[in-house]
């Protein structure tokens, strides 16, 4: 940890070269937010090397464009304004890794779930908000540092809570694939509600 | 069932419940209490001699009380494990004077009154939550006279009565006179699709279950009059419409409308009054038996398990998936997956599909003996640490060790740290760096957000797991709220440092919101308790500095509460409008002086 922390310190001191991408998400963002206008404003910020609108940042052409910029312009931070990071943060982190950057040098601004979709009636205010969210993301990106995920042991055994039809199926699939499974059932027998049923739709056969 | 019982790699613990879960993906430490069966599971051959001599007669749960069993019994003929079980509350006891007849009857000597509950400590890498459902209980609302009229049954009771292995060997009979009914009515949506009576959601399976039951009846009793009272029939799955059509073709009478009133006639028959909305007529039917198509509800213990595992529930009370479309079987907590009705009402086919999906998602993590852990952890600068012990006190994972007497600097066990950031927020000496959510990173966001026209903006902190997800949910639902809200995401509300709040107000923020998971739902065990304490503390300080404490708000918003998120934002905007320019200027002056 101490060693990686010291390398982090060195890397984070390097001058930020930020690439900023404002995703249109088709029209999901672009019909409410002036994406290209926001991108143009971002280009004026310090440390921003490139800022542009992009049709679908998550698509293969979109990712390729960012990857190429990383290689050609020597970017060391990436800011993507698009959907929620809860959706595509893993996608863009993988893209950074593929481009040779530490995945934690990415910052996302939530321009869809938390901007264009919730302020559809007020495009000017939505654009102002998108502008702020992007400025905040750039400010944060400037201070990002690379991180290394530690490697942890994986216990190759699964627990299934509940011995109904779903629990039984999950247990069998994992066990048939070679994994040990521990099933915990509250009742004195497995089977759950399914065992109580007579015939079951749509096949009209017995449930047990 | 038997496949699972026989499988060399599956260990089944029945009569067992999880009482505690610690750890994380790859290394969950689970405490399971296995209640005593009082019968040796391996030795019992299920010969049944013990039950024959047992004098205690009790209602049989498997047949929902429609038949009886003894105090020592087999749950049902095909039970797995195929061993008898003794209910100690019902048994007359291990006292030869009192009874102990079963002990004498059992040739293999499997019965052991001295067996005690066991506590098992199990270590697993992944967990599949398949805790199922509980059928809606029609008794509290006493709909359609269920508690008063014997010939009104639930769909599960009906199921046992037509089952060849059931209490009547599959011969349907009326509870009042044990005669085969000549007419049977089914009432749909009992406990479903009504916020007033039961749950507002559709239970998904009841329509097709009723269609199936009508076909079973028509097969066995072609002349029986079968009626179905419904709102609409949802036959959306593969092969479902064909079954529904078959049912209609066999003469099942579908009446669109739920009965308004049911009364019992002297001969035990039931008079049903219903407004047929297809024809707009008021109709009355006299039926020998009524079956309530009861809905599906989350089982008891769901909330306890949710708290133990740090999971989220949807507003319906079922487990909430990480993403409804793209991660439909994943929990937001890595290494935990959902299968079956635990996640929402579903039929057998869907449950099985989801279970297979959950199995593969779990295998995807388990296929290597190592996985990458949490990179977002905290780190303590030994030069700045004064060994006060505050960080160790607040850490929900006991990941920090410090010797306050010897004054050795605190240390973080990185593998145990989950990255909530509460320690960094509580450290009075700024000695703790919460990686990826550092003071300069968040401070930079606050400065950028309040750089221009701060008085027009709302600064809101949202935790990643609940409130930020709730904001996303508001977005997915296209709920519109004031556009001047700016969210800063932290992993936990526990990360929101007092200094962030002061910085916001010093920069001219009119109002600040801190939001997180509801108490008890915190993704980091109980880190949000510290959020509460901190906000109270800051508000007191605000009062001392003549800053209106209401300008700092704390709200709990879950991942499923998109509507609540939008409402809170509207409230924050109303609050912001109540803050005058003078107030803001005064606050800025007071806080700037303090430095």
pLDDT at A204: 82
Q: Where among B103, B123, B143 does a domain terminate?
A: B123
Residues B469 and B501 in one domain: yes
Residues of chain B contacting residue A139, judged by C-beta atoms under 8 Å apart: 444-445, 447-448
- Average pLDDT of span B575-584: 97
- Counting Cβ atoms within 10 Å, is residue A47 exposed (0-12), middle (13-18) or buried (19+)? middle
Q: What is the residue-wise DSSP string for chain A?
A: -HHHHHHHHHHHHSPP-EEEEEE-TTTTTTTTS-HHHHHHHHHTSTTEEEEEEES-TTSHHHHHHHHHHHHHH---EEEEEES-HHHHHHHHHHHHHHTTS-GGGEEEEE-IIIIITT-TT-HHHHHHHHHHHHHHHHHHHHT-----PPEEE---EEEEE--SHHHHHHHHHHHHTT-EEEEE-SSSSS-TGGGG-SEETTTTEE--
pLDDT at B139 over 90: yes
pLDDT at B358 over 80: yes
pLDDT at B348: 95
Whether B419 is in a domain gets the answer no
Q: Do B457 and A147 touch (CB under 8 A)?
A: no
Q: Where among B281, B297, B313 does a domain terminate?
A: B297
- Average pLDDT of span B413-427: 92
Nearest CA among B370, B362, B355, B367 for reference residue B333:
B362
Whether B360 is in a domain gets the answer no
The tokens for B107 are 């040739």
Whether B458 is in a domain gets the answer yes
CATH for the stretch A2-142 = 3.40.50
pLDDT, averaged per 10 consecutive residues of chain A (208 residues), comes to: 42 79 97 97 97 96 96 96 95 96 97 98 98 98 94 96 97 98 97 90 78
Residues of chain A contacting residue B362, judged by C-beta atoms under 8 Å apart: 158, 170, 174, 179
The pLDDT mean for chain B works out to 94
- Average pLDDT of span B403-423: 92
pLDDT at B33 over 70: yes
Residues B227 and B144 in one domain: yes
Residues B68 and B160 in one domain: no
Nearest CA among B15, B28, B510, B1 for reference residue B308:
B28
pLDDT at B373: 87
| pLDDT tens digits, one per residue of B262-288 | 999 999 999 999 999 999 999 999 999
Q: How many domains does chain B have?
A: 3
Q: Do B441 and A144 touch (CB under 8 A)?
A: yes
User: Helix B206-220 and helix B240-249: axis angle, to 10°?
Assistant: 40
Residues B589 and B458 in one domain: yes
| pLDDT tens digits, one per residue of B47-62 | 999 999 999 999 999 9
Whether B320 is in a domain gets the answer no
Q: Which residues pair with B370 in a beta bridge?
A: A153
CB B302 within 8 A of CB B319: yes
Q: Helix (H) and strand (E) counts for chain B?
A: 16, 29
Complex ipTM over 0.90? no
Residues of chain B contacting residue A140, judged by C-beta atoms under 8 Å apart: 441-442, 444-445
Residues B157 and B287 in one domain: yes
Residues B147 and B237 in one domain: yes
Whether B463 is in a domain gets the answer yes
Extents of the domains making up chain A: 2-142, 157-206
Of B166, B362, B438, the CB nearest to A143: B438
Shortest Cα distance, chain B CAs vs residue A34, angstroms: 15
Whether B404 is in a domain gets the answer no
pLDDT at B239 over 50: yes
Neighbours of B368 (CB within 10 A): 12
Whether B392 is in a domain gets the answer no
Which residues are within 8 A (CB) of B245 and not within 5 positions of it... i.e. 6 or more apart?
Answer: none
Shortest Cα distance, chain B CAs vs residue A142, angstroms: 8
- Average pLDDT of span B206-219: 96
Give, in degrees to the nearest 5, the angle at Cα B34 between B94 and B135.
105
| pLDDT tens digits, one per residue of B521-535 | 888 888 999 999 999
pLDDT at B97 over 80: no
Is some CB atom of chain A closer than 8 A to the CB atom of B266?
no
Which residues are within 8 A (CB) of B314 and not within 5 positions of it... i.e. 6 or more apart?
Answer: B320, B344, B560
Is some CB atom of chain A closer than 8 A to the CB atom of B77?
no
At residue B462, φ and ψ (nearest 5 deg) are -135, 135
CA A82 to chain centre: 11
Residues B142 and B280 in one domain: yes
Would residue B543 be called left, alpha or beta, if left means φ above 0 and alpha means ψ between -120 and 50 degrees? Answer: alpha
Interface test with B, best of A91, A111, A159, A172 (most B CBs within 10 A): A159
The tokens for B28 are 């969950």
pLDDT at B441 over 90: yes
CATH number of the structural domain spanning residue B174: 3.50.50.60
pLDDT at B14 over 60: yes
Residues B470 and B583 in one domain: yes
Whether B12 is in a domain gets the answer yes
Q: Do A150 and B414 touch (CB under 8 A)?
A: yes
pTM attached to this predicted model = 0.82
**What range defines the domain where residue B49 resides?**
2-23+30-123
CATH number of the structural domain spanning residue B485: 3.40.50
Shortest Cα distance, chain B CAs vs residue A187, angstroms: 5
Residues B53 and B153 in one domain: no
Q: In whole angstroms, give the CA distance from residue A100 to residue B170.
A: 68
| pLDDT tens digits, one per residue of B57-92 | 999 999 999 999 999 999 999 999 999 999 989 998
Residues B467 and B568 in one domain: yes
pLDDT at A7: 43
pLDDT at A1: 38
pLDDT band for position B312 (cuts 50, 70, 90): confident
Nearest CA among B320, B317, B132, B33 for reference residue A167:
B132
Contact residues, B window 117-156, toward A, CB-based 8 Å cutoff: 122-133, 135, 156
pLDDT at A2: 40
Contact residues, B window 529-588, toward A, CB-based 8 Å cutoff: 566
């Amino acid at each position: 940890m101490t060693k990686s922390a010291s390398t982090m310190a060195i890397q984070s001191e390097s001058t930020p070269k930020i690439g900023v991408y404002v995703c249109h998400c088709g029209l999901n963002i672009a019909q409410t937010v002036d994406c290209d206008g926001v991108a143009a404003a971002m280009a004026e910020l310090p440390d921003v090397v490139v800022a542009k609108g992009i049709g679908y940042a998550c698509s293969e052409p979109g990712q390729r464009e960012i990857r190429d910029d990383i290689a050609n312009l020597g970017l060391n931070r990436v800011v993507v304004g698009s959907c929620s990071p809860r959706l595509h943060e893993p996608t863009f982190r993988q893209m950074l890794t593929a481009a040779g950057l530490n995945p934690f040098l990415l910052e996302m601004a939530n321009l869809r779930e938390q901007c264009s979709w919730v302020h559809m009636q007020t495009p000017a205010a939505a654009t102002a908000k998108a502008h702020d969210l992007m400025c905040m993301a750039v400010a944060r990106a400037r201070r990002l540092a690379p991180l290394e995920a530690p490697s942890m042991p994986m216990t190759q055994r699964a627990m299934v809570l509940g011995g109904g039809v779903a629990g039984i199926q999950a247990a069998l699939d994992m066990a048939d694939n070679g994994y040990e499974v521990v099933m915990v059932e509250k009742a004195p027998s497995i089977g759950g509600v399914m065992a109580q049923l007579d015939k079951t739709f749509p096949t009209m056969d017995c449930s047990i | 069932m038997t496949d699972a019982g026989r499988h060399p790699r599956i260990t089944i613990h029945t009569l067992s419940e999880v009482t505690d879960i610690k750890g994380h993906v790859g290394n969950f430490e689970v405490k399971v209490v296995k209640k005593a069966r009082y019968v040796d599971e391996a030795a019992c051959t299920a010969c049944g001699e013990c039950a024959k001599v047992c004098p205690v007669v009790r209602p049989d749960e498997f047949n929902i009380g429609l038949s009886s069993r003894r105090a020592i019994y087999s749950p049902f003929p095909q039970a797995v494990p195929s061993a008898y079980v003794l209910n100690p509350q019902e048994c007359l006891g291990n006292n030869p004077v009192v009874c102990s007849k079963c002990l004498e009857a059992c040739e293999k000597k499997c019965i052991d009154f001295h067996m005690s509950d066991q506590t098992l400590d199990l270590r697993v890498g992944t967990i599949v939550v398949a805790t199922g459902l509980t059928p809606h209980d029609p008794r509290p609302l006493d709909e359609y006279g269920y508690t008063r009229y014997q010939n009104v049954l639930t769909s599960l009771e009906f199921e046992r009565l037509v089952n060849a292995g059931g209490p009547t060997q599959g011969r349907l009979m009326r509870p009042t006179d044990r005669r085969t009914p000549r007419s049977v009515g089914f009432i749909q949506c009992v406990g479903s699709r009504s916020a007033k009576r039961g749950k507002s959601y559709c239970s998904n399976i009841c329509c097709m279950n009723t269609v199936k039951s009508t076909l079973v009846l028509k097969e066995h009793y072609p002349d029986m009059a079968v009626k179905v009272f419904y709102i609409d029939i949802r036959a959306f799955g593969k092969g479902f419409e064909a079954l529904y059509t078959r049912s209609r073709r066999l003469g099942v009478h579908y009446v669109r409308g739920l009965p308004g009133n049911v009364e019992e006639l002297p001969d035990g028959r039931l008079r049903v009054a219903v407004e047929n909305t297809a024809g707009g007529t008021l109709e009355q039917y006299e039926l020998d038996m009524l079956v309530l198509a009861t809905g599906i509800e989350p089982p008891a213990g769901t909330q306890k398990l949710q708290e133990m595992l740090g999971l989220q529930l949807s507003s319906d009370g079922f487990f909430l998936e990480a993403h409804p479309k793209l991660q439909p079987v994943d929990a937001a907590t890595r290494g935990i997956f959902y299968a079956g009705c635990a996640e929402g009402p579903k039929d057998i086919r869907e449950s099985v599909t989801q279970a297979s999906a959950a199995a593969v998602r779990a295998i995807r993590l388990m296929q290597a003996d190592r996985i990458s852990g949490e990179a977002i952890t905290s780190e303590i600068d030994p030069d700045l640490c004064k060994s006060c012990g505050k960080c160790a006190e607040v850490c929900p994972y006991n990941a920090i060790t410090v010797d306050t007497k010897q004054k050795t600097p605190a240390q973080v066990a990185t593998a145990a740290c989950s990255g909530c950031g509460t320690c960094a927020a509580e450290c009075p000496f700024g000695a703790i760096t919460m990686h990826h959510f550092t003071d300069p990173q968040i401070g930079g966001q606050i400065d950028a957000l309040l750089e221009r026209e701060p008085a027009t903006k709302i600064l809101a902190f949202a935790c990643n797991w609940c409130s930020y997800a709730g904001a996303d949910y508001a977005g997915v639902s296209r709920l519109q709220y004031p556009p001047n809200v700016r969210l800063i995401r932290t992993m936990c509300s526990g990360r929101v440092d007092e200094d962030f709040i002061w910085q916001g107000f010093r920069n001219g923020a009119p109002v600040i919101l801190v939001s997180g998971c509801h108490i008890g739902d915190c993704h980091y065990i109980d880190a949000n308790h510290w959020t509460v304490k901190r906000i109270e503390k800051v508000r007191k300080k605000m009062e001392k500095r003549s800053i209106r404490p209401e300008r700092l708000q704390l709200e709990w918003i879950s991942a499923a509460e998109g509507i609540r998120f939008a409402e809170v934002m509207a409230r924050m905007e109303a609050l912001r409008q109540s803050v005058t320019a003078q107030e803001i200027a005064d606050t800025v002056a007071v806080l700037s002086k303090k430095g």
